[in-house]
């Protein structure tokens, strides 16, 4: 280790209106190390990194790079001082080649020829140095996500980054792809680069980092050597209290088949077959989990069952009745509730008041008003009841939904769907972007639904969640259900199935 820190943050403070996103944060990142930053969603990690990368300006405080105070006004300035960022959602032009993406913004003149040659040579050098091999002429959209992420890393290195920030980099990767990424990061570190690794997954922190800093509610609560800490200690630091990492539940008591999918084939918006001849049953009193890396057809499967996406062929039986491609409203009437994967996109209308979202999809119920009219008083009363029961904060049914935190937004959706007492509950990514406290709460509700004899179909890319909640696990890969295992199968077997290797 070298004496001078690669990055030093001194007293960084940032407010958004009444939200104090970063409170007087100081942090020192040693050169040539992998430094993890962990915290719940909304703890202020992303804000801090955005300040470092020039998206926001800190209200006060100082940033030092290699000991020198710098002012980072925008991403150009960040690159100039050697800070590169690999975003959670890739910033690549999908129909460009790897080389073209690399050059983008650094073309080196009006004509591309010379710049392209230079880029090709530089790419070769980077490949040799860090073992980051990727075909420069491959079109990005044809590459698997793991390789796309590698292109992102190459892009940062190509621009001369000495310090790499990775924001939740493993969300889209299989466990083996993630392991591969970790190897690359270690190699980068060994070559003297500094890596800032942001995540909310404890397992990854333990696997790859040298040092870890924990953020909670905008504050940096601890910085410790990874070797000297444990998952339990970090979880406690993140949440500020002891956390139950495992879900407690009794053995399942499966009943009749309530949801049955037969030979279902679904295409996505581009006409690509995403679900290919899939069949399975979901029984009452049982949680059927679907594991798989994001993008292997789980989303389309859920949407087809919920009546949002029309399948190409196949049948869906709800409670014994053939309801393929029925209107979502009809499916709700039949007792099928749906907690969608993406609450911002589907589950909620963010600019609406909380109480309006609290009835979304069920607004034709006479409970919310007679005939064509809405009974605002009844709607708000109903919303207030749900807020109390689900401990949604702040407890204000008239607040704009966008002003709730991720966890509370998800609780709004869960309350709406679960409180209808449906026969069948289908759930996508129930805890994505949700803080640990709310995760516990939502998991308990899902188990309660099962114990009350409901059929639950759970789709999640979080392996721990699938293993913790499900009574049986189906694994999806490339549109197929490649196998079924017990939830206590070891991670390696599941990982191989998710990668499509064992069937």
Partner 1 sequence: MSTASVKLPNWINYGLMPLINLIVAFLISGLVIWLIGESPLEALDFMLRGALGSGEAIGFTLYYATSFIFTGLSVAIAFHAGLFNIGSEGQAYVGGLGAALVALALDHYVPWYVTMPFAILGAALFGAAWAFIPAWMQAKRGSHIVITTIMFNFIGAALMVYLLVNVLIVPGKMAPETRTFLPGGQLPKLDWLMAIFGMKLGAAPLNFSFIIALVMCVLIWLLIWRTKLGFEMRTLGVSPSAAIYAGVPYVRTVIIAMLLSGALAGMMALNPVLGASARLQVEFVGGAGFVGIAVSLMGRNHPLGIVLAAILFGLLYKGGDELSFERPAITRDMVMVIQGLVILFAGALEHMFRPAIVKIYTRFAKG
Task: Give me the residues that bind partner 1 (CB under 8 A), please.
Answer: 15-17, 19, 56, 306-308, 327-332, 338, 340, 345-352, 356, 360-361, 363-364, 368-369, 372-374, 376
170 with 207: CB under 8 angstroms? no
Query: Does residue 276 have a cis peptide bond before it, meaning omega lies within 30 degrees of 0?
Result: no
**Least distance from C-beta 327 to partner 1, angstroms?**
5
**Least distance from C-beta 402 to partner 1, angstroms?**
10
Residue number with CB closer to partner 1 (109 or 366): 366
What 3-state DSSP class applies to 246? coil
* Residue carrying the six token digits 């079109």: 139
Residue number with CB closer to partner 1 (342 or 421): 342
**Least distance from C-beta 366 to partner 1, angstroms?**
11
Query: How many whole angstroms separate alpha carbon 473 and alpha carbon 476?
Result: 10
**Least distance from C-beta 498 to partner 1, angstroms?**
27
Q: Which two tokens stand for residue 168?
A: 């939740």
What 3-state DSSP class applies to 177? helix
**Least distance from C-beta 292 to partner 1, angstroms?**
22
**Least distance from C-beta 90 to partner 1, angstroms?**
22
Beta partners for 223? 213
The whole-angstrom distance between residue 345's C-alpha and the CA centroid of its chain comes to 14
What 3-state DSSP class applies to 331? helix
**Least distance from C-beta 57 to partner 1, angstroms?**
8
Burial class (CB in 10 A: 0-12, 13-18, 19+), 408: buried
The whole-angstrom distance between residue 114's C-alpha and the CA centroid of its chain comes to 40
Element holding 79 (H helix, E strand): helix 75-80
Residue number with CB closer to partner 1 (328 or 500): 328
Please give, one letter per residue, the 3-state secondary structure of 424-464. EEEEECCCCCCCHHHHHHHHHHHHHHHHCCCEEEEECCCHH
What 3-state DSSP class applies to 220? strand
Residue number with CB closer to partner 1 (45 or 467): 45
| Of 438, 421, 407, 412, residue with least CA distance to 355 | 412
Residue number with CB closer to partner 1 (60 or 327): 327
| Of 254, 189, 309, 210, residue with least CA distance to 456 | 254
**Least distance from C-beta 306 to partner 1, angstroms?**
7
Residue number with CB closer to partner 1 (19 or 452): 19
Q: CA-CA distances (angstroms) from residue 393 to 28, 354, 389, 401, 474?
A: 34, 11, 11, 11, 35
**Least distance from C-beta 177 to partner 1, angstroms?**
29
Residue number with CB closer to partner 1 (16 or 67): 16
**Least distance from C-beta 484 to partner 1, angstroms?**
29
Residue number with CB closer to partner 1 (15 or 249): 15
DSSP state letter for 250 = P
Runs of H (alpha helix) within 112-264: 112-130, 145-158, 175-190, 202-208, 231-239
**Least distance from C-beta 392 to partner 1, angstroms?**
19
Residue number with CB closer to partner 1 (56 or 390): 56
350 with 403: CB under 8 angstroms? no
425 with 255: CB under 8 angstroms? no
Residue number with CB closer to partner 1 (386 or 467): 386
DSSP state letter for 241 = S
Residue number with CB closer to partner 1 (175 or 347): 347
CA angle in degrees (0–180, nearest 5) for 284-289-290: 130
């Amino acid at each position: 280790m070298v004496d001078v820190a690669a990055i030093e943050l001194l007293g960084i403070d940032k407010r958004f209106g009444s939200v104090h996103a970063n409170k007087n944060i100081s942090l020192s990142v040693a050169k040539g190390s992998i430094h993890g930053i962990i915290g719940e969603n909304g703890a202020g990690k992303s804000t801090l990194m955005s300040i470092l990368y020039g998206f926001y300006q800190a209200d006060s405080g100082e940033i030092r790079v290699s000991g020198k105070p710098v002012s980072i006004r925008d991403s150009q300035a960040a690159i100039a001082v050697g800070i590169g960022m690999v975003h959670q959602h890739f910033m690549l032009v999908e129909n460009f080649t790897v080389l073209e993406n690399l050059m983008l913004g650094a073309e080196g003149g009006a004509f591309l020829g010379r710049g392209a040659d230079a880029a090709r040579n530089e790419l070769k050098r980077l490949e040799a140095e860090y073992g980051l091999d990727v075909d420069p002429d491959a079109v990005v959209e044809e590459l698997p996500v793991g390789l796309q992420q590698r292109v992102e890393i190459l892009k940062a290195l190509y621009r001369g980054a000495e310090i790499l920030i990775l924001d939740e980099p493993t969300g889209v990767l299989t466990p083996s792809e993630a392991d591969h990424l970790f190897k690359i990061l270690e190699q980068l570190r060994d070559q003297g680069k500094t890596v800032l690794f942001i995540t909310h997954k404890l397992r990854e922190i333990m696997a790859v980092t040298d040092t870890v800093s924990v953020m909670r509610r905008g504050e940096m609560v601890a910085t410790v050597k990874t070797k000297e800490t444990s998952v339990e200690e970090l979880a406690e630091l993140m949440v500020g209290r002891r956390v139950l990492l495992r879900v407690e539940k009794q053995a399942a008591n499966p009943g009749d088949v309530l949801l049955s999918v037969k030979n279902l084939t679904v295409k996505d918006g581009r006409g690509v077959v995403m679900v290919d001849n899939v069949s399975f049953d979901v029984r009452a009193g049982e949680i059927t989990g679907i594991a798989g890396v994001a993008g292997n057809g789980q989303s389309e499967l859920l949407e087809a069952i919920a009546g949002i996406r029309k399948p190409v062929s196949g049948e869906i039986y709800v409670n014994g009745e053939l309801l393929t491609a029925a209107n979502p409203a009809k499916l709700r009437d039949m007792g099928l509730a749906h907690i969608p994967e993406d609450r911002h996109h589907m589950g909620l209308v963010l600019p609406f008041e909380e109480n309006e979202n609290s009835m979304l999809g069920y607004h034709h119920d006479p409970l919310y008003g007679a005939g064509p009219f809405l009974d605002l008083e009844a709607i708000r009363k109903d919303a207030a009841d749900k807020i109390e029961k689900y401990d949604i904060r702040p407890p204000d049914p008239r607040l704009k939904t966008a002003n709730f935190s991720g966890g509370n937004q998800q609780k709004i959706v869960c309350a709406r769907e679960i409180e209808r007492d449906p026969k069948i509950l289908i759930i996508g990514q129930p805890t994505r972007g949700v803080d640990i406290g709310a995760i516990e709460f939502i998991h308990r509700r899902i188990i309660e639904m099962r114990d009350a004899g409901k059929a639950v179909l759970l789709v999640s890319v979080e392996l721990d969640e699938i293993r913790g909640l499900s009574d049986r696990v189906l694994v999806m890969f490339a549109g197929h259900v490649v196998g079924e295992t017990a939830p206590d199968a070891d991670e390696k077997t599941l990982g191989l199935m998710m990668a499509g290797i064992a069937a």
